[in-house]
């Protein structure tokens, strides 16, 4: 979800927490949880995916061995690769002009998709996003980099983290 304010993302987390906790579904894994935006350290831990590299796919480069981009960024100022399927030097060389389907790129080793690129992600700190987006240059897609924003945009969204309050007693 993009074009949403930080306040609306918080309200969504509150709403989905109430819905989950009120459910009597016997298949629920946890009895009581809290959905929320992550802190910056939590987001960075999840983004690293078990590696200590600048990008969530364990690389020190945003490209694979063929030179193809591993995330959806604004690559209009990047050198094209003749070995990539869309290697025509266009902004879409990375696979998309705008946000793409969540599984358009490989996940990190924690199974998280698009932690770098596609849509920058809000964290609990208002006005701060992480991970870069399709609208931003590749260097904004590193795990350490953060951006600021003041209003909803088509290139900033959010990832919900679930905090387990009470496990089921099965």
Rounded to the nearest integer, the mean pLDDT of the chain is: 88
Tens-digit pLDDT profile for residues 39-93: 999 999 999 998 889 998 888 888 888 888 888 898 888 887 777 765 444 444 5
Write the pLDDT tens digit of every residue in 129-163: 999 999 999 999 999 999 999 999 999 999 999 99
Task: Show the domains of the chain with their CATH numbers.
Answer: 40-157 (3.90.1580.10)
Cα–Cα separations (whole angstroms), residue 144 to 40, 139, 159: 10, 10, 17
Q: What is the pLDDT at residue 87?
A: 41
Q: Evaluate whether 122 touches 128 at the Cβ level (below 8 Å).
A: yes
pLDDT higher at 62 or 38: 38
Q: How confident is the model at residue 95 (pLDDT cuts 50, 70, 90)?
A: low
- pLDDT, residue 88, reads 44
Q: Where are the alpha helices (DSSP H) in the chain?
A: 6-22, 40-48
């Amino acid at each position: 979800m993009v074009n949403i304010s930080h306040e609306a993302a918080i309200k969504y987390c509150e709403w989905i927490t109430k819905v989950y906790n009120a459910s009597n579904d016997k298949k629920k894994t946890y009895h009581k949880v809290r959905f929320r935006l992550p802190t910056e350290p939590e987001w960075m831990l999840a983004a690293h995916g078990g590696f200590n590299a600048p990008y969530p796919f364990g690389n020190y480069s945003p490209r694979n061995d063929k030179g193809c981009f591993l995330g959806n960024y604004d690559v209009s100022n990047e050198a094209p690769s003749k070995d990539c399927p869309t290697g025509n030097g266009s902004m879409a060389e990375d696979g998309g002009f705008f946000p793409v389907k969540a599984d358009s790129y490989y996940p990190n080793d924690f199974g998280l998709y698009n932690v770098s690129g596609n849509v920058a992600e809000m964290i609990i700190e208002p006005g701060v996003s992480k991970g870069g987006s399709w609208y931003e240059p590749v260097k904004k897609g590193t795990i350490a980099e953060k951006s600021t924003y003041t209003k909803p945009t088509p290139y900033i969204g959010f990832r919900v983290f679930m905090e387990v309050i009470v496990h089921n007693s099965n």
